[in-house]
Structure 1
Amino acid sequence: MERKNNKLNSKTQEKRQVLISLSIEARALREEKKHTANTIEEAAFWESRTINYMLLRFFYGGGRFQTFKEWKTDGAVIKKGAKAIVIWGQPKKGTPKDIDDTNLSEEEKELKKYEFFPLCYLFSEKDVVFPSAKEKEVKEENTPDKEKGIPAEIDNELINTL
């Protein structure tokens, strides 16, 4: 059995870089909201929000997001061609290596912090269909009235006269 290559491929690296830049913006937005809060409670609220919360609510438009497996468990089917959004996953066990290295610049230290977190792929509720709803749509499309183009009232009158 082959062992997986631990090096990230280029697409994953690109997604990670985009997510890092979005995370920096999300952190700045959270700080702005915290500093412009009118009450201490509101400031505490914004202080307690995670980067993923800020990403999902302000950068990805809110709504309900779940992993592929969670949608499958709920009985949903992902629409063909749907693209997952990327957020930070649960941190890997252990501690980030070389984060306190004195030879690293502040920017490099910040990037090292993000290497500790894997990527998590989520699908929006707009990207899924529930089979029962899909079957219902198909049944409605294939009703005899719609196939013949005969309004239901006329069809019922014909049945009653026979």
Structure 2
Amino acid sequence: MPTVNRLASALLGILLLVGGLVVAAEAGAAWAGRAPLLLPLREWYQRLTTTPLSSRVVLLASVAAALAGLLVLASQLRRWRPKELDLPGDPTVMWRVQRRTVQQQVAAAVARVSGVGQPKVGVHGRRSAWSVSVAADARADRTPEVTRAARRAMTRLSAGDDVGLRVALSEPRRVA
């Protein structure tokens, strides 16, 4: 969604720039006493001064503008998952790791454990307070090995023991 926000912001910026240039050109033409360049200003003025506020067009335009504004506001206020995570440690030095890197490294470490298949790793929480969850197909007796493998991968990434880890294993399906 941040990409959509950037595209929408760029489009809005371009529209405002072009609109501002057109208005400036029209104002310059009106000041010089010339006819309008692009916009039929006299027709617009006539329509704007004769349209009552109770008109259906005014109501629909107002509702559309309000809904667009609420949609933009809601998309900006929504909390997005951070792409980078703070690593715990020395408070004077701030290190970060990519969320995707944590997921890939922990999944790869768990997949190397014998009897474990299809690991899925999730990173939950905020940038400064996050935890890792691992779900995989394996017998329940593999939980300690999977936990150790995930912790080793997190330690290699400099995520300390205070980063939460949850492991959920489900029995693999047997093929008949």
TM over 0.5, shorter chain:
no
Q: Which has the larger radius of gyration?
A: 2
TM-score by length of 2: 0.21
Higher RCO (CA < 8 A, seq sep 6+): 1
